[in-house]
Structure 1
Amino acid sequence: MNKSHATVAVVQSVPILFDKQSAMDKIASKSREAAARGADLIVFPEVFLPGYPRGLSFGARVGSRTADGRRDWERYWASSIDIPGTETDLIGELAKELGVYLIIGVVERDKEFSRGTLYNSIVYVGPDGSVLGKHRKLVPTGSERLLWGQGDGSTLTVIDTPFGRVGGLICWENYMPLARTAMYAQGIDIYIAPTADARDTWQSTIRHIACEGRCYVVSCNQFATKASYPADLAGYEDIEEDADILSRGGSAIVGPLGDYVVEPLYNEEGVLLATLDLSLVTQSRFDFDVVGHYSRPDIFQLVVNDKKQDIVRRI
């Protein structure tokens, strides 16, 4: 049955970095809190499980790496997850118990080949407990490229729900015009934008995407302090002189004409909640439909390779 409204929750929080169980515990507690408030769909930040290692260098300089940095990265790898795997099974049980969609930023291990590569991913879990899809970040940003591999076009995922089509891109992927177009062309109604960017310019980005795509934009960031970092990390000294607040947040929900439904939340942990009227998505496309009547395929065309790219193909 199609629903004209959906209640969406955005969790602005962090677990203890590199601590998989801490992340799983927070996913459970924050999901229960949001579901008790009527949420149909709950969104967690970029790589919430097992955390975004802001400020850490992993001992990397151009031309060299340190043994301590490799050990920290191994610890990060060990706290990452397989999709599907034990953690997604547990998240599925939680989603089924609560009757909600859970959309969570995770660090995903490559489980097909060497198992030595990690991906910055979004996992989509349905209220029946199943993994409905995932998206791997296409281009990790800056120093992130040493931590995570590049996704391919096979995970430009959009899922069908009773209240519309849901999908998204991660952080600075949202600055890639062609990636956004590939998402719009799948009829996206609720656009998920988990991020680690707390700058004022990010707010301009999500409002532009909402206005351009004529969709709701659900942006989810972290509120992170140094207290969320294990003090026994070899690389802890990288952040010792930083301010206590490492990420001030800025999670927000924007409507399909670019206006805030929920204004940005800064400098505190919290759960943002809003009931979205999906009829406004249709109304907003009356005068502008970026991949419909406002496109010019006789002039501009986008080619998307949505095939999975494998280094080894067995025939």
Structure 2
Amino acid sequence: MKIAVVQDGPIYNNLNASIEKTCDFISDAAKENTDLIVFGENWLSGYPVWLDICKDVNLWDHDPIKQVWSDMYVNSVDILSNDLQKLQSLLRENKMHAVIGINEKVTSGKGNNTLYNSLLTINDSGEIVNHHRKLMPTYTEKLVHGLGDGKGLKSVDTPFGKLGGLICWEHWMPMARQTMHDASEDLHIGVWPFAKEMHHLASRHYAIEGRCHVVAVGQIMHKDELPTGLTISESIQLDESNLILKGGSAIYDANGQPIVAPIYNERTVIYKNLDLQSNLKERMNLSVSGHYQRPDIFKYSVNKER
């Protein structure tokens, strides 16, 4: 199968423009006969990196931050709306699958007026076949994202194998990993704002532990793309590139070896043919859901309600 890993960024806090940009990437990938295209964490419409680098983000009732959050909410995806209709139609027309990170807004009913850090898997018929909400917002993310649930902790069947994914620091949640390994992934998509060395340690470990291919997707963001009204803290030292998010996308085989080594400081699309059948050989000596598991000793349960 052929994958396209998009290492770029959206049009920050502009959902319509970001969807247009996403569709351009899909159209370009179609010309390369791509089976699966993947985008990073909160691709639509931007990871809230300002939480980590800007001044006064945690001040109570601080109007500039409330305005940024409001803009973020308006430009987030409502799953129950037609926000993604054009994108889904384009995937259907080109018989392409996609994994894409979003800021998800709930506008009515349970969870309304809440944002979630979500990961969507869309099949080649344009259908959303998995909708995962990040279980635990990481550190500063708790200021803007709600707690997710276990409903999306699964893999989906595709013509090229079982496809799954997790969001950022979920890769350090042992029970989340075990649940996904139990889902028999052949290809795992790990989405990050910026894939640093520690994130590649997690990605390689996941590949070895799950005996599956792992894609780590990072993004690119320049300081000029930050929302207006915010100021970067003096303690944050940027290099001459002025990049806040520096990419770091990579692909690992089922033994944790790099097929594509991390790529930094570059807006690019990584195209690669992957042999997912090669996973099987690595499962001879390790299967954490099978012959290297002790379910008679270790027991746990997963609440998959939403």
- Is TM (by shorter chain) over 0.5? yes
Corresponding residue SS for 1:281: helix
1:238 corresponds to 2:232: yes
**Match of residue 18 from structure 1:** 13
Residue by residue over 1:233-284, the C-alpha shift from the partner in whole angstroms, topping out at 9 and shown as x without a partner, is 222x136875211011110111011111111110101111111112111111
Which of 94, 107, 119 is 1:122 aligned to?
119
**Match of residue 83 from structure 1:** 79
**Match of residue 254 from structure 2:** 256
TM-score by length of 1: 0.90
Structure 2 distance, partners of 1:300, 1:58, is: 45
Q: Aligned letter for 2:163?
A: V
Identity of aligned residues (%): 36
**Match of residue 288 from structure 2:** 290
Contact 2:206 2:214 in 1 (8 A): yes
Corresponding residue SS for 2:102: strand
Deviation, 1:59, is 4.4
**Match of residue 271 from structure 2:** 273
1:107 corresponds to 2:142: no
- Give the gaps of 5 or more residues in structure 2: none
TM-score by length of 2: 0.93
Corresponding residue SS for 1:192: strand
**Match of residue 34 from structure 2:** 39
Deviation, 1:60, is 3.6
Structure 2 distance, partners of 1:239, 1:250, is: 24
Structure 1 distance, partners of 2:91, 2:115, is: 25
Deviation, 1:38, is 2.0
Structure 2 distance, partners of 1:41, 1:137, is: 22
Q: Aligned letter for 1:129?
A: G
Structure 2 distance, partners of 1:25, 1:225, is: 20
1:302 corresponds to 2:296: no
Corresponding residue SS for 1:183: helix
Contact 1:55 1:239 in 2 (8 A): no
CA gap 1:266/1:60 in 2 versus in 1, 3 angstroms: closer
- Give the gaps of 5 or more residues in structure 1: 1-5, 309-315
Aligned length: 299
Deviation, 1:229, is 2.8
Q: Aligned letter for 1:70?
A: K
CA gap 1:65/1:116 in 2 versus in 1, 3 angstroms: same
